[in-house]
Structure 1
Amino acid sequence: MKNRVILWFRRDLRLADNPALRAALDGDFDSIVPVFIHAPDELGDWAEGGAQRVWLHDSLRALAEDLETLGSRLIIRQGPTLDTLNTLIEESGAGAVYWNRLYDPPIIERDKQVKKALNEREDVDVDSFQAHVLFEPWQIETQQGQPYKVFTPFWKRIKGEPIRAPLARPDQLPAVWSCIGSLDVPDLGLLPEIRWDEKIRDCWTPGESGAQQRLETFLEDAADNYDDERDYPAIAGTSYLSPHLHWGEISPQQIMHRTEEWLDEYEGPAPREHIESFQSEIGWRDFAHHVLYHFPNTPDEPLDTRFKSFPWSDDTEALNAWQAGRTGIPMVDAGMRELWATGYMHNRVRMTVASFLTKNLRIAWQHGERWFWDTLVDADLANNTLGWQWAAGSGADAAPFFRIFNPARQGERFDAKGSYVRRWVPELSDMPNRHIHKPWDAPAEVLKKASIELGKDYPKPIVDLKASRREALEAFDQIKNES
């Protein structure tokens, strides 16, 4: 066999704890050819959204720089994937192709075809590895041999299992032949022509080193109060690791082991309950991939089939107002504007805006799912699907449909001083705390003092919260007894 291997990078844009890379190094190949192939057409409806493409651009640049520091370089090509791999095999004389597995339905189907075709060649060894989740989706099942649909028993099942230790980052890599050509990252056309992405790029540091720094910042500043502060969007109380996890700039194994190390290093009584709460969020991510793998139609169809006949509204004007952060509901508008500006939204607010869309506006969850897919830097198909079906009451471990978040009360509870709303809805900056989450209830003199005329300076609510809640429950009554 030819003693060269192609290392196919996908959403595993890191050098530490990269099982495919480690296998290539342990295989004692003379040369490793790292390649990233951009083939969005192969992903169908789930090709990268706009915010993801911005992140990918910067992450690829970071990976290329990291490879160069180790003596290698990143080969960038455009698809189709199979044709590109076959071409690279001929150009490099490679006798093996290695990659790390992913679990999105279109990627699984594509990878099966690639693996089958390459295995039919007598001169190429093909192998794939686990790098994206703690446990393979097919490894975990109920006592009845079925996939889990509820998170709590899933988490109890996996949290006692040993998690493999992270793999070390290599100190050096063999050089790549200079005759193997590559595109430059800008050649992929990932950045928008109209540059709306500056604010997103100001907020984040894509790449492996950025992921590690983000984890250490969380451990230093927020981990010991995580359970107390995670629900308050004006506080930096969460890890902000989700986009780094999505692109594989850090692995869940690295996070789980580093948090345990941090507990051992902690001076004073270790805040284990806070770390275990955070670790359960890593478990939720595994659960999302578990559900997507076993129920691959859920990005488009409700897991609870009753919701196929739910009387959704087709109010395009309301959908547009929600997308633009112009609903007249301050907590909702703040979240939607944060999303547009930064490519991110706090999880408490994600639940709030999703409940408002699917229940108060009664607009189908797929519309929200699609908007998030295009605007979130961490738009992961598994997490995005599970989250939206959870909010709509139609998915795995879903909140009951009758659990309808009141966005004004959510604001009063989790943004009592209005700091989050004032940041993202500056026209309400001078509203007093008492009225900032319900300006429609504020006395005329309060609105005048704050220089607010509803319907002019800030929208009137596009829907009555109490009436729309009642109408949503009446709509659910039409389907709740269906089988």
Structure 2
Amino acid sequence: MRLVWLRNDLRLADNPALRYACAGDGPVAALFIISPTQWRQHKMAPIRQRFMLAQVDELGRELAALGIPLHLLRVETFAEAPAALSDLCRELGVTQLYANQAIEIDEQRRDHAVSAVLAEQAVSCHWLNGCCVLPPGRVLTGSGEMFKVFTPFSRAWLKALDEEGFVIHRAPAPRGEPLPWQPLVERAWVDEGLGELTPDPRWPVGEVEALRRLNIFLEQAVLDYGETRDFPAIAGTSVLSPYLAAGIISPRQCVAALQQRLGYRPQSKAQPGFVWLNELIWREFYRHLLVLIPTLSMNRPFKPETADLPWSWDPDAFAAWCEGRTGYPIVDAAMRCLNATGWMHNRLRMIVASFLTKDLHIHWRLGEDYFMSRLIDGDLAANNGGWQWAAGTGADAAPYFRIFNPTTQGQRFDPQGEFIRTWVTELADIPAAYVHQPHDWLRLKGRRDYPAPMVDHAVARVRAIEMFRSLEK
């Protein structure tokens, strides 16, 4: 018996672990492990848990139709996984375990422990690359080190891809008679401690849905992506991040579909489609970093010297940021959107992260954790990479004094205030000319229903620069 252990790779197509587990004859089974306590410790958002479990349900039905049973185990923490897997392998007569490589440090430690336990009962473990187009460790400098700046990594990544290419693995063929599948909502033990399992209707699960979104984006928006991607009121992005984070679609499928749409693989900014491809490479960059620099999974900054920065931990200021009460309309609209939907536009993520760290001088770890606790696409590598980039502690060639002005960012990327008025209802009736600096207009109207700016950006910017310059002394 061969067992494939599914994690953040909840798909049939282009799933190396599933593909190799199904190679040859003999029975195959699948496994998914539910770890509620561990998920809470990792700040996994409830909306992401529901999305993931809804996809497990969908995948269980699809596997059952192929004659492959999907077993569910519940262990509260990763520490319990080795013993539970050992018992299941003994019960099923498993001789080989297949899984796609985990990149986070706790998950890697769990997998090492599983390998050690299963080796004692002669079960061989096979760990494959299912999370990246090119496996972590493949794209290195000439001296064999990981790139610390994105642009040279991007060039080297493109060169390596040209040299090696990549393969899209087909979904497995039926392996026997269809099997029954009991939906998760009928299993009382599954939702104990997890809350409501009903997924958000705004985020339908399934590989068909992920491919539909990808194809619509490639047909309608990819050629204009470089011009429209920064405007939150415009549907200019692929909105595929939840599907990539859960592994419902793979990055290889995205690259292959882009190539098919364009007829070539873009190599520079001058070529249509390159800006979106570069975003996929950013995703690869952060995942490679997480594997090769394990301390990034341990709340440590990429730049060690920045560990001594005198960050604030002010709970009241942090709460105002979380709840969208900063007095800066674009920041407040973005945070209220996140709290209501579990998703935030990427330009807005940069704006609110810069505001928390450079205007409020609050530690990036608080923002990183809050995002993970709310985002449907929460992913440690991308989230940590983005927050450290914004905070000036991460892998970034730009100097620390790059600080976003929240007012001018709003004026530039939501010029008419459409996004702001959607989410900051107090400003729904404000004229566009005042929407980014509404306080004088509100004062003239005798209104106090929207907060005054909690900081002066110009003053806060100077303080942020002083914080970083103090490290040079």
User: TM-score surpassing 0.5?
Assistant: yes
Q: CA deviation at 1:72?
A: 3.1
Q: 1:478 aligns to what SS in structure 2?
A: helix
Q: CA deviation at 1:212?
A: 1.2
Kindly provide the CA deviation profile for residues 296-317 of structure 1, in whole angstroms up to 9, marking residues without a partner as x.
1124011212222212123211
**Which residue of structure 2 aligns with residue 77 of structure 1?**
73
Residues 1:125 and 1:308: Cα distance change in structure 2 (over 3 Å): closer
Distance 1:178 1:314 in 2: 52
Distance 1:473 1:133 in 2: 36
Distance 1:471 1:182 in 2: 52
Q: CA deviation at 1:116?
A: 1.9
**Which residue of structure 1 aligns with residue 104 of structure 2?**
104
Residues 1:43 and 1:175: Cα distance change in structure 2 (over 3 Å): farther
Q: CA deviation at 1:277?
A: 1.0
**Which residue of structure 2 aligns with residue 6 of structure 1?**
3
CA contact (8 A) 1:428 1:436 kept: yes
**Which residue of structure 1 aligns with residue 173 of structure 2?**
171
**Which residue of structure 1 aligns with residue 280 of structure 2?**
282
Gaps of 5+ in 1: 266-270
- 1:203 and 2:195 matched: no
CA contact (8 A) 1:43 1:107 kept: no
Structure 1 residue runs of 4 or more that deviate by more than 3 Å after TM superposition? 40-45, 173-187, 190-193, 441-445
Distance 1:142 1:441 in 2: 54
Q: CA deviation at 1:387?
A: 0.4
**Which residue of structure 2 aligns with residue 476 of structure 1?**
468
Pairing 1:219-298 to 2, within 5 Å after superposition: 219-264=218-263, 273-298=271-296
CA contact (8 A) 2:6 2:31 kept: yes
Q: CA deviation at 1:163?
A: 3.2
**Which residue of structure 2 aligns with residue 453 of structure 1?**
447
CA contact (8 A) 2:184 2:190 kept: no
Pairing 1:285-434 to 2, within 5 Å after superposition: 285-299=283-297, 300-397=299-396, 399-434=398-433
Q: CA deviation at 1:233?
A: 0.5
Q: 1:332 aligns to what SS in structure 2?
A: helix
Residues 1:41 and 1:115: Cα distance change in structure 2 (over 3 Å): farther
Give the partner amino acid of 1:173: R
Q: 2:28 aligns to what SS in structure 1?
A: strand
Q: TM-score, normalised by structure 1?
A: 0.90
Q: CA deviation at 1:40?
A: 4.7
- 1:462 and 2:454 matched: yes
Give the partner amino acid of 1:288: Y
Give the partner amino acid of 1:74: L
State how many pairs are aligned: 462
Q: CA deviation at 1:125?
A: 2.6
CA contact (8 A) 1:31 1:174 kept: no
Distance 2:183 2:324 in 1: 45
Q: 2:91 aligns to what SS in structure 1?
A: helix
Residues 1:260 and 1:155: Cα distance change in structure 2 (over 3 Å): same
Gaps of 5+ in 2: none
CA-based RMSD of the aligned residues comes to 2.6
Distance 2:398 2:46 in 1: 29
CA contact (8 A) 1:246 1:379 kept: yes
Pairing 1:46-125 to 2, within 5 Å after superposition: 46=42, 48-79=44-75, 80-122=80-122, 124-125=123-124
Q: 1:7 aligns to what SS in structure 2?
A: strand
CA contact (8 A) 1:390 1:398 kept: no
- 1:20 and 2:12 matched: no
Q: 2:201 aligns to what SS in structure 1?
A: helix
Residues 1:181 and 1:461: Cα distance change in structure 2 (over 3 Å): closer
Kindly provide the CA deviation profile for residues 393-435 of structure 1, in whole angstroms up to 9, marking residues without a partner as x.
0011264321110111111000001111011112201111111
Q: CA deviation at 1:353?
A: 0.1
CA contact (8 A) 2:86 2:117 kept: no
Distance 2:435 2:42 in 1: 38
Between 1:252-261 and 1:134-143, the stretch displaced more is 134-143
Give the partner amino acid of 1:18: N
Q: 1:297 aligns to what SS in structure 2?
A: helix
Q: 2:263 aligns to what SS in structure 1?
A: helix
CA contact (8 A) 1:12 1:100 kept: yes
Q: 1:90 aligns to what SS in structure 2?
A: helix
CA contact (8 A) 2:68 2:179 kept: no
Q: CA deviation at 1:86?
A: 1.6
CA contact (8 A) 1:57 1:185 kept: no
Q: CA deviation at 1:183?
A: 9.5
CA contact (8 A) 2:283 2:382 kept: yes
Distance 1:332 1:354 in 2: 9
Distance 1:385 1:190 in 2: 30
**Which residue of structure 2 aligns with residue 268 of structure 1?**
none
Kindly provide the CA deviation profile for residues 119-164 of structure 1, in whole angstroms up to 9, marking residues without a partner as x.
2223x23212111111121222101111111111111001122331
Give the partner amino acid of 1:359: K
Distance 1:294 1:272 in 2: 31
Distance 2:194 2:247 in 1: 23
CA contact (8 A) 1:32 1:174 kept: no
Q: CA deviation at 1:249?
A: 0.7
2:34 alignment partner, one of 34, 38, 42: 38
Q: TM-score, normalised by structure 2?
A: 0.91
